[in-house]
Structures are given as C-alpha cells and as structure tokens.
Amino acid sequence: MVLDRKATLSLRALALGYLIILLLIPLLLIFFRTFEDGVAAFWAQVTTPASIAAIQLSLTIVAIAVPLNVIFGIVTALALARGRFPGRGIVQAIVDLPFAVSPVIVGVSLILLWGTGGWLGGLAGLGIQVIFSLPGMVLATIFVTLPFVVREVEPVLHEIGDEQEQAAATLGASRMQTFWRITLPAIRWGLVYGVVLTVARALGEFGALIVVSGAVSGESQTLTLLVHSRYIDDHNVFGAYAASTVLMAFAIVTLLLMTTLNRRRELE
Amino acid sequence: MSLVTHLPGAGVRKRGRRPTAVGGVGPLGLGVAMLWLSLIVLLPLAAVTTRAFDNGLIGFWDAINAPAARSALILTTVISVIVALINVVAGTLIAWVLVRDEFPGKRFFNALIDLPFALPTIVASIVLLTLYGPRSPINLELNATRPALIIALLFVTLPFVVRSVQPVLIEVDREAEQAAASLGASNRTIFRRIVLPALGPALLGGAGLAFARAIGEFGSIVLIGGGIPYETEVASQYILKQIEVDRPVNAAAVSVALLAISFIVLLILRTAAARSRRHETGS
C-alpha cells in the first residue's frame, strides 16, 4: 500500500496527535505543576514522615513480593516449558488469570479468604493478622504480579531448547549445577525483563491494596495509597502531585530499562 | 511486549516419553508450582465465588440485580465496549504510523506507547485530572462525567491493540499489496481486502485485552470518575463500597458477575480470532 504524501502526513498527524493529547501533555503538565513552586516545595512534600513511611512500605512490599515471584515464577516456567503433564493448558490459564481479574476483586477475594469468617481466617486467632496489614498487601501484590516472570521466562526456555541441559547432565552435572550454569545464564535477560515489569507493577499497585490495607496513615500506606489519601482526604493536591511525580520517575526508569532490554534481546 | 503476544511453541516440541525431563523441575517442582498457584490465585478466587452464592442462586441474582449494582455493571460493560472499539481504530492507526511511516522522534513515540503499562494507575488518574479536572488549563472540566471515564480507560488500555497489531503489521506480506495495487486496486480496497484480514486475529486479541482491562479498572478512574451512583460509578467502585459497608456477599456476587462478563467476552473474541486465523490460512 503506497500512500501519497498528503495521506501519510495526515495519518501521522492523527496518530501523534492522539498520543500527544492523551499521554504527553498530561504528563508534562503534572511535572510542571509539581515544580512550578520550585524544587524545595516538592522536596518538602516528599520528605514528610507519612511520605517516607509510605516509600519504605512500598519498597518493603517489593522486597518481599519480587523474590518470591522470581523463585516460584522460574519453577512454574520450568514446569510448563519442560514438563509433560495432564492439565498443562489449565495451568497456563491459571497463570494468565491475574491479568483478567480486576484489582479490586483481588482485594475482595483476599479478604474473603484470609479475613474473619474466611476459610483461612482462623490465622487471625493465632495472632497472625493478614488482612489490613503487611501480609495481606504482600499477598495482593504477588497475585497481581504473578504472571510477569513466568510469561517472560517460559518463551525463552522454549527457544533455547534443552540440548545443552541434556549435555550437561550427560557429563555428570547435578540438576542444581545444570540450572545455575546452563539454564539461568540463558534465561537471564528474559528474567530481568520480567523482574522489571514485576517491580513496576508492584510499586504501582493500588486497587487491590486499598481493599486489603485499611490505609492507616504511616502504618499501612504505600506510595500509591498516599497519593489517593492526599488528594481525597487531605485535599493536598500539590502533595498528591509530588508523590505522583516520584512514582512517575520510577515508571520512566522502568520504561528506559524495558527499551534497553528489548534492544539487547534483539541483538542476541 | 510479550504480555500481549501469547506464546506459541506449546505444541512445538515433539512428545517424548520422558517421565521427568532433564532440565525440568520434576514432579516435586510441579507440585511446588501448583501449590503456589493454588494458594495465591485459585483459593482466593474460589473463596469469592463460593461467598457470592452464600444466599443461594436467588441471593446472587438479587445482589447483582440491585438497581445500583445493575447500573454499575451495565455502565462498566458499555463503556468498556466503547473503549475497546476506539482502541481498535486508534491502535491500528498508531501501529500503522509506527511501522510504515518514518519521521524524527519515532523511537521516542514508540517507547511512549508502553508508558501506561509502567505508570501506576492512580498516577494516571492524577495526570488526567491536571488536564481535565479543576483548574484545567484548556477549560475542559470533565471530572465526574462519563467522558472522563472513557478518557481514563483509553489512557490505561492504549498499549494493548498497538502492541498486538505492530508485530503483525511488520510481518504482513507487502508483495500482495503491491500486486493488488498494480492490478488497479485502490488503497481502500487493499486495506480492506488484504491488510485488515491479516490483522484480524491480532486486533481481536488486543481488543479483548483492552476490554478485560477496562472492565476491571479501578485506580485510573477513582479520582477522575467521581463514583456517582447511577452516573459514573463503575462496578469495581461499587464492589469496594459494598466491602466498606460490610456487605461482603454483595461484593462477592458483583465480583463474580464482572469476572463472568470478562471471561465470556474473552472467550468469544478468542473463538473469533481462531476462526479468522483459520480463514486467513485457508484462503
């Protein structure tokens, strides 16, 4: 299909116009609003005790949820890529399920499972508070980020095949040695990509957390919940912008990493 | 990004008779993976499903048929369909320009597409409020209106169609287009008869993902949508409200209804995509 110059230009204008109006202008505007009173005002909002506590909680959740998803994600990807078992299609569907479930439903289902009266609600009686506390927030984050590592690692495992692994086994390598020396180096870029997506999503999760957190300021408030409560409860619009800008900075770093990793993978 | 293009290769390797593959994780690993998936994903969803029917089928029906619940479910579904349709058009257009056109800054715009995946949804809400909320610099105050819901959902669902159409558009057979052009076909005919059929499955897949995302969306809507019952309250907001007023059975029932709508639509689109793929290869 060869378009004349006029058609090409008008299509380009339409597409870029859509992107600029929908994405770019709002983004630039929020940067402008955040820094229009200078960097000091921004910094003051980011370093309030509530804000620091929120950043710490967000990072704590990431530090627990991401390693768990990496370990179990690799195991699941290996089982799916290398194993032969009945019901493999069903397992594939379960892995994709979190993409199709609303974050709010994730939160509600966790409350109904772990909360008082739920099937596992008895834990609260043993002094293990899951809902309205850190474990519940971690569970919610693991739920919504579960697919990423599996979905990035599994295709790579298919692609590399298992010839090298078999060769290593023939030469007497143990299963662990084979994994550390052969499999892990081969999947590393896919894994890193999956981790980047997991971290980004974990830092940005909101819907599931607002349901399970109870959102007590400074205690169970993540950065995203802080944005919400500053805007809605405190009417601190500027503070909400400032916290959003911090999250946006993380998102842009994520985007840069994604682009670099994609290029790197294309090169290999 | 590979979330969108789902893995092939499932049936590629030949079926060998090996109880435990060498590089695999063996029965133990499989058991661990299953236990993990069950504990994290399946058990909670099973809990919400059984809770939805605590008061029997009639109780379930009453819960999703309560006026505010019904209105939220219908609004969510209709708006998600609209958003998916806009995405089909805008996504194809953007993918087309990013694949077939050359212009300075193309790499930048290509990277920009993934931004909604990387940006927290609550930030998307704030970002859109700066432009369309109070103090709007273009004097367009849309907060707590239905158009605002559509804009927020278009923002968060932008990547799906673009990213599923792009790779197909790169692969599409340009010789067929040239042949059709040399036989005198107009651009419109070429697009309709050659390009569009090739894009069919990818478009349906992308639209399905956009729909599924839109129907469950919460974070990007919560600030700009307003959550006015019967007006702008979407299903996820209604569910959260039911939890807050301690009516978990109602929350569970509407959750199950929402999941059912999402799965049915995904199933229909997947079947349609498979059919159009067969049609493509068969002709």
Residue A221 sits in the same domain as residue A112: yes
For each of the domains in chain B, give its residue range(s) and CATH number, in order of start. 56-282 (1.10.3720.10)
Q: How many domains does chain A have?
A: 2
User: Does one domain contain both A146 and A21?
Assistant: no
A100 vs B contacts (CB less than 8 Å): 212, 216, 259, 262-263, 266
Q: Model confidence over B189-246: pLDDT tens digits?
A: 888 888 888 888 899 999 999 999 999 999 999 988 888 899 999 999 999 999 989 8
Q: A30 and A48: one domain? A: no
Per-residue pLDDT, A31: 86
pLDDT beyond 70 at B7 = no
The percent of residues above 90 in pLDDT, for chain B, comes to 52
Q: Are A203 and A58 in contact (CB under 8 A)?
A: yes
Mean pLDDT computed over B45-58: 93
Whether A96 and A178 map to the same domain: the answer is yes
Comparing B282 with B254, which gets the higher pLDDT?
B254
Q: Are residues A152 and A260 in the same domain?
A: yes
pLDDT over 60 at B153, yes or no: yes
Whether A55 and A73 share a structural domain: yes
Range of the domain at A257: 38-267
The answer for residues whose C-beta is within 8 angstroms of residue A159's C-beta and 6 or more apart is B9
- Contact in structure between B25 and A75 (CB atoms under 8 Å): yes
Q: Is the pLDDT of residue B3 over 60?
A: no
A67 and A167 co-located in one domain: yes
pLDDT profile of chain A (268 residues), mean per 10: 82 92 88 86 90 92 95 92 84 89 94 86 76 90 95 89 85 85 88 91 92 71 91 88 91 86 78
Nearest CA among A127, A188, A149, A147 for reference residue A67: A149
For the domain that residue A218 is a member of, what is the CATH number?
1.10.3720.10
Q: Do B87 and B210 touch, CB atoms closer than 8 A?
A: yes
Q: Are residues A109 and A180 in the same domain?
A: yes
Distance from CA of A64 to the nearest CA of B (A): 14
Domain shared by A67 and A113, yes or no: yes
Q: Using a CB–CB cutoff of 8 Å, tell me whether B108 touches chain A.
A: no
Residue B17 has pLDDT above 60, yes or no: no
Contact B190/B177 with Cβ under 8 angstroms?
yes
What is residue B251's predicted lDDT score, i.e. its pLDDT? 94
| DSSP per-residue letters across B57-78 | HHHHHHHHHSHHHHHHHHHHHH
Task: Examine the pLDDT at B8 and tell me if it is beyond 80.
Answer: no
* pLDDT score recorded for residue B14: 42
Quote the CA–CA distance of B222 and B235 in Å, as a whole number.
11
Are residues A44 and A4 part of one domain? no
Q: Is B255 helix (H, G, I), strand (E, B) or coil?
A: helix
Q: How far apart are CA A210 and CA A221, in angstroms?
A: 9
- HSE-CB for B166 with a 13 A CA cutoff: 21
Q: Does this complex have an ipTM over 0.85? A: yes
A77: closest chain B residue by CA: B33
Task: Determine whether the interchain pair B177/A1 forms a contact, defined as Cβ–Cβ distance below 8 Å.
Answer: yes
Shared domain for A152 and A193, answered yes or no, is: yes
**A29 and A92: one domain?**
no
Inter-chain touch A244–B181, beta carbons under 8 Å = no
* Whether the predicted pLDDT of B263 surpasses 80: yes
Residue of chain A whose Cα is closest to the Cα of B23: A165
Count of pairs with CB atoms under 8 A, one residue in A, one in B: 297
Average pLDDT, chain B: 86
pLDDT at B10 over 50: no
